[in-house]
């Protein structure tokens, strides 16, 4: 595999000077971001630095505020999850504002509901990675013998419920002087974290409440390294916490536990600790800010609409990434090096070149670049297919994530329907973010396929389509085999296989791209069709659908 690159020069050419039509298929005009920033500053009658400093200050102000841009569907999904017992995994790309949303929900919900929220990046128990220990420490920070939280209900109810939990029969007298304070003191002094959390859960349930525990940055509490580099005590604490959460949710149906992690590989880490996929009620994917709310935010910062749209096309709905891009521009304008601005170096993509070179992962990357998802071929109960292995590697490198039909996502519905249009497709790989999908496109263009990967296809799946404008399939998918160096060869193979009464040149070959059928040229390489889920579609002239 040879990569055509000269470090920053290649990216600079793609990012600033080359028509995006060639790289992304966005539009056919060159958009020079630094030049456009200079024009905006001139229109305002201020220097480039003054303009960018103002935009950067507005971005920083948003970052420090409690404002949440977009993602109302995601927030509603979390609120709905908290209304019933269950174990939820919340996974997604990095730096999407997940923690800000969780903290805002904690502020609102904890005022009237039994909620314990901990951020394992800043644990309430210093330097601890034990989720149970941190939850207990958070409870002691929130509550005291003199502060009974509002969700606890009536004085009598609190005393009776806590008396049952902590085993103090004398507390059942609802009018006992200092009874509530004494009861909470007993609860907070339950020594072992596991026993304390069960006491908390039982107390809340006895008061007809659904206790919720959110362990943010949960991948810190549940290591993803198969024991490599992790102490025995850390893994034991993780296993104990996981077993406790499964018991509280799946087994006893008493609590709601939410495990957010900015890591699509997080589920594999849980599996190494004995977590079974059936132990989780649901997986929710953290979305980026939607297009219109993101454009509104960027224009609030001071970007004109055309620049905001360009930012969204490149960086997606990732607020922090857009802020980093602005700060990068500011720094380069200050040095007089704005012409070297490279949007694809705003955030590192270490490991992507290796994935683009590896035949095991390249096909998935090509699918992600072309259509925004890649089907994963299922294996046996005991084995892993090459497709599954490649998807797992990409997820562990944080360039994509694996979802199934039951996963809650906030993708375009037509795109999601397309992903699972084939009933045999159980899982698909999606890009971690819009930005990383764009980085994948750039990397694939820079790296030529190896000679092994570019050999003519030996077997290709195809299926007849009623028309390129519809979804009606005629007959079942089938394979054609032979030396298929290009689409013209594929036409001849279909004509022979189906014994058609028309010439092969009359057949039209189509593939699906971004939800629409695109006709393939005769000299195009045959680079798909390795699975039924990704098969080529062909159409025939009217009256020529039958075989001889």
Domain that holds residue 202: 72-80+100-273+281-285
Answer yes or no: do 404 and 320 share one domain. Answer: no
- Rounded to 5 degrees, φ, ψ at 513 are -140, 120
Residue 548 belongs to a domain: no
Tell whether 52 and 134 lie within a shared domain. no
What CA–CA distances, in Å, run from 136 to 105, 133, 200, 334? 19, 5, 9, 49
Per-residue pLDDT of the chain (548 residues; tens, 9 = 90+): 555 444 344 334 344 333 333 333 444 346 899 999 999 999 999 999 999 999 999 999 999 998 999 999 999 999 999 999 999 999 988 888 899 999 998 988 887 889 999 999 999 988 899 999 999 999 988 887 667 777 765 544 555 555 555 555 555 554 445 556 666 677 777 888 998 899 889 888 877 889 999 999 999 998 765 444 567 888 889 999 999 999 999 999 999 999 999 888 888 888 777 777 656 668 999 999 999 999 999 999 999 999 999 999 999 999 999 999 999 999 999 999 999 999 998 998 999 999 999 999 999 999 999 999 999 998 776 678 999 999 999 999 999 999 999 999 998 888 888 999 988 899 999 999 999 999 999 999 887 655 444 445 568 889 888 765 655 666 788 888 877 777 888 888 888 888 787 888 889 898 877 667 788 887 777 888 887 778 888 888 876 654 43
- Say if 3 falls within a structural domain: no
- 106 and 236 part of one domain: yes
55 and 129 share a domain?
Answer: no
Q: Is residue 319 part of a domain?
A: yes
User: Would 308 be classed as within a structural domain?
Assistant: yes
My answer on whether 429 and 472 are in the same domain is no
Q: Are residues 414 and 314 in the same domain?
A: no
In a domain, 87, yes or no: no
Judgement on whether residues 172 and 263 belong to the same structural domain of the protein = yes
DSSP characters over 406-418: TSB--S-HHHHHH
User: Kind of pairing, strands 86-91 and 256-261?
Assistant: parallel
Q: Is 545 within the bounds of a domain? A: no
- Structural domain ending residue among the three candidates 426, 446, 466: 446
Helices then strands (H, E): number in the chain? 22, 13
Final residue before a domain boundary, out of 328, 345, 362: 345
| Total number of domains in the chain | 4
Is residue 323 a part of any domain in this protein? yes
Backbone angles phi, psi at 322, to 5 degrees: -65, -40
Does residue 191 share a domain with residue 132? yes
465 and 380: one domain?
no
pTM (2 decimals)? 0.74
List alpha helices for 83-223, DSSP H.
98-109, 131-142, 155-166, 179-188, 193-206, 218-221
Shared domain check, 507 and 404: no
- Please indicate, yes or no, if residue 85 is contained in any of the structural domains: no
Q: Based on the fold, state whether residues 238 and 106 are members of the same structural domain.
A: yes
The domain boundary residue, chosen from 311, 327, 345 = 345
Nearest Cα neighbor of 435 from 315, 300, 290 is 315
Query: What's CA 11's distance to the chain center, in Å?
Result: 25
**Residue 525 structure tokens:** 């390489």
Residues 495, 398: one domain?
no
């Amino acid at each position: 595999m040879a990569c055509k690159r000269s470090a920053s020069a290649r990216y600079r050419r793609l990012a600033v000077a080359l028509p995006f039509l060639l790289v992304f298929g966005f539009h056919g005009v060159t958009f020079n971001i630094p030049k456009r920033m200079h024009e905006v500053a001139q229109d305002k009658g201020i220097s480039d630095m003054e303009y960018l400093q103002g935009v950067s200050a507005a971005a920083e102000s948003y970052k420090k505020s409690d404002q949440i841009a977009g993602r109302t569907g995601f927030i509603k999904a979390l609120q709905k999850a908290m209304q019933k017992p269950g174990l939820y995994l919340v996974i997604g790309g990095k730096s999407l504002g997940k923690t800000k949303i969780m903290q805002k929900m904690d502020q609102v919900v904890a005022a009237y509901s039994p909620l314990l929220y901990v951020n394992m990046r800043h644990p309430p128990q210093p330097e601890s990675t034990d989720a149970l220990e941190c939850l207990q420490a958070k409870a002691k920070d929130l509550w005291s013998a003199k502060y009974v939280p509002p969700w606890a209900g009536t004085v009598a109810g609190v005393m009776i419920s806590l008396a049952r939990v902590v085993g103090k029969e004398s507390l059942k007298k609802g009018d006992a002087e200092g009874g509530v304070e004494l009861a909470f003191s007993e609860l907070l002094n339950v020594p072992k974290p596991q026993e304390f959390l069960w006491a908390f859960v039982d107390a809340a349930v006895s008061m007809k409440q659904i206790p919720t525990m959110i362990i943010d940055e949960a991948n810190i509490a549940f290591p993803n390294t198969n024991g490599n580099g992790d102490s025995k005590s850390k893994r034991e604490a993780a296993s104990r916490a996981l077993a406790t959460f499964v018991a509280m949710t799946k087994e006893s149906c008493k609590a709601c536990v939410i495990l957010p992690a900015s890591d699509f590989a997080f589920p594999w880490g849980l599996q190494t600790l004995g977590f079974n996929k059936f132990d989780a009620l649901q997986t929710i994917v953290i979305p980026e800010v939607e297009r219109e709310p993101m454009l509104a935010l960027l224009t609030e910062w001071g970007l004109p609409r055309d620049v905001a749209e360009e930012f969204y096309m490149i960086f997606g709905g990732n607020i922090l990434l857009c802020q980093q891009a602005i700060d990068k521009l500011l720094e380069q304008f200050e040095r007089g090096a704005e012409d070297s601005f490279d949007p694809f170096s705003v955030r590192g993509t270490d490991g992507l070149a290796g994935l683009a070179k590896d035949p095991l992962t390249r096909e998935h990357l090509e699918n992600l670049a072309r259509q925004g998802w890649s089907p994963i071929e299922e294996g046996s109960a005991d084995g892993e297919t090459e497709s599954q292995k490649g998807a797992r590697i990409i997820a562990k490198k944080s360039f994509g994530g694996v979802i199934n039909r039951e996963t809650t996502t906030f993708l375009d519905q037509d795109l999601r329907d397309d992903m699972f249009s084939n009933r045999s497709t159980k899982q698909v790989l999606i890009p971690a973010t819009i930005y990383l999908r764009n980085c994948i496109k750039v990397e694939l263009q820079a790296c030529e396929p190896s000679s092994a990967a570019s050999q003519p296809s030996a077997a290709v799946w195809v299926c007849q389509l009623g028309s390129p404008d519809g979804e009606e399939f005629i007959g079942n998918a089938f394979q054609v085999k032979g030396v298929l160096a290009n689409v013209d060869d594929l036409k001849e193979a279909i004509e022979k296989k189906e014994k058609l009464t028309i010439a092969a040149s009359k057949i039209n070959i189509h593939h699906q791209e971004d939800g629409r059928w695109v006709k393939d040229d005769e000299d195009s390489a045959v680079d798909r069709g390795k699975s039924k889920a990704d098969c080529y579609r062909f159409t025939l002239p009217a009256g020529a659908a039958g075989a001889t």
